[in-house]
Chain A
């Protein structure tokens, strides 16, 4: 499957140019569920797509399903509450583990001593992320086994409609917004399984949702230390990439310590800052990016991605 990740579209849109470069025939399907109540406000998006689009309305559909299926609604809410609490507990461990990494990195001890300790601290962080993602995946799996969402009447009926729409489109476009809301709706209706080999274009939260692992990040939040958090596994449509939308705004890209820790923590996946105009392609075998796209290096530097491959 071909997947194209883009930077945020509001101020420096390259969606239209990307779609034209891919030479799609016919309509494309759009997902704007991350916009929640504003899901239907997609006039500007349709304009970028030359008005050849159909919105899958996953947010509206999910709301309808939950309204008609109180048991699923209650189960969904209970699962989200459980995940929320798990995230809080994970964050307690995360803050200590990440603080240890930063303290070691800034220590004035000789490199021969501190690098070994730092390597251990980074590995502890990676283990913590791995464990957390595993626990979250178990919760999702348990939900599927117990409540069988795809087999429930409301979901199955909507899914039939979605399958019919997707049969007639040449690609899927996934916009940003609230990443958990978006990912939950994509999962609820099993969109990936309906896609076949149709290409996917996604940006911001959409790019995060289709990657292997969703990482939340902001180096300078109003409260708290601002350590990146692993949220859950994504849809895994593009391998070994952690997309970082609005990176220039959200991250201290000029802080080699933070850049290095992020690169080491999520390796072998590449942490890719994705600001306006960014583009990264996966053709099913290799990554490709045009000039002007970057990745974080373990050295703490920001390096331009090679044009041929990443």
Chain B
């Protein structure tokens, strides 16, 4: 998404008239949906009194703030940016009045994405299609969620764990197990229950039991903490395998997470090689340095130490690793760098990029591809 203006756009017709009348602005706004995507050009508009309007986004590599232009003689502000095909970008507007800037969602856009910090407006580039498996399907048999508090001696406290049991769950079967970091966020912001229901219903993945875990002190626990891996490998999973009909073999166990949760995933696998046969790493915060200190701040220090050590001495820790990252994330460099390191160990690695950012809907959109590769469903063989 660059600031290069594109010729032949609807906004240019309006802006070049010089002193457009309010009725012309009304007609323009009612004739289109906004942001207005025309080919690779994307026009953001804001109507209202302001001293300035800026686009705020999280596309790494572009100025984080881009100024709108005002259509002469009107209260209509606009900005044209290039939006590559199949992009998905979250953004806000900063409306400046009297020297103060206020961040708001785009009043003309009803597409929103939510995350633990609130919500953002969303624009889709040409060709992006929201997957149909992220929405509830009335023909899908829903699984169930069961909340539990798990007492962890390793972590010295209680941890919230939500269990997902598939529809038609039976104690006579043996299920694979997926353990998820930041489980509540995956449920709230990545529609994970609906996604699981649909992927199982579509036979893209097998019926599966999922343990959605939540951290205590997230940044500490997920940054290569020994106690965290002990919690998962010595406490949580053995307990689940005792109580639930799980296959309890490495190739039936998968650990996944996003951002710092991906660091926790890989670092647990490195501490306990072979315990989880499959890993799913989404937009991992795999900061590293080739020389000198990291500029990412103290929170990343244990991560950098871990990743540097793994890069220096890569080893096979699982059979299959799915890695995904958005090309608009600052972490794309780190994730691209990690892939050959993982491949050099003999692990089977699949890497997927998307024109998206560091957000929960990016991670949602990659779940079908990742989970169905790690746990292929019986799609070819089952015709109910």
Q: How far is the CA of A38 from the CA of B380 in the complex (A)?
A: 19
Which candidate, B53-61, B101-109, B166-174, B217-225, is the interface stretch facing chain A? B166-174
- Residues A222 and B204 in contact, CB atoms below 8 Å apart: yes
Interface: B378 (CB within 8 A): yes
- Residues B369 and A216 in contact, CB atoms below 8 Å apart: no
Interface: A29 (CB within 8 A): no
Contacts of B372 in A (CB 8 A): 222-223
- Residues A179 and B383 in contact, CB atoms below 8 Å apart: yes
Q: How far is the CA of A204 from the CA of B372 in the complex (A)?
A: 23
Contacts of B70 in A (CB 8 A): none
**Contact of A216 (CB < 8 Å), options: B368, B373, B381, B384:** B381
- Residues B368 and A38 in contact, CB atoms below 8 Å apart: no
Q: How far is the CA of A204 from the CA of B373 in the complex (A)?
A: 25
Q: How far is the CA of A246 from the CA of B201 in the complex (A)?
A: 13
**A-side interface mostly:** mixed
Question: A11-B139, A37-B170, A223-B373 known; A204 and B380 CB under 8 Å?
Answer: no
Tell me the smallest distance from the CB of A112 to a CB of chain B, in Å: 36
Interface: B382 (CB within 8 A): yes
Interface: A190 (CB within 8 A): no
Interfacial residues of chain B within 293-334, with CB under 8 A of chain A in the complex: none
Question: A37-B172, A38-B170, A246-B383 known; A178 and B378 CB under 8 Å?
Answer: yes
Shortest Cβ distance from B384 into A: residue: A176
Interface: A8 (CB within 8 A): yes
Contacts of A216 in B (CB 8 A): 380-381
Q: Interface range on chain A: under 10, 10 to 19, 20 to 34, or 35 or more?
A: 20 to 34
Tell me the smallest distance from the CB of B127 to a CB of chain A, in Å: 17
Interface: B148 (CB within 8 A): no
Q: How far is the CA of A218 from the CA of B204 in the complex (A)?
A: 11
- Residues A176 and B383 in contact, CB atoms below 8 Å apart: yes
Tell me the smallest distance from the CB of B131 to a CB of chain A, in Å: 11
Interfacial residues of chain B within 352-378, with CB under 8 A of chain A in the complex: 368-369, 372-373, 376, 378
Interface: A208 (CB within 8 A): yes
- Residues B373 and A179 in contact, CB atoms below 8 Å apart: no
Residue with the highest number of chain A CB atoms closer than 10 Å, among B369, B373, B378? B378
**Contact of B381 (CB < 8 Å), options: A11, A41, A178, A223:** A178
- Residues B383 and A221 in contact, CB atoms below 8 Å apart: no
Contacts of A222 in B (CB 8 A): 204, 368-369, 372-373, 379
Give 11 A-B pairs besides A8-B383, A10-B384, A176-B383 with Cβ atoms closer than 8 angstroms: A179-B382, A181-B381, A205-B384, A216-B381, A221-B204, A221-B379, A222-B373, A223-B373, A223-B376, A229-B380, A246-B383
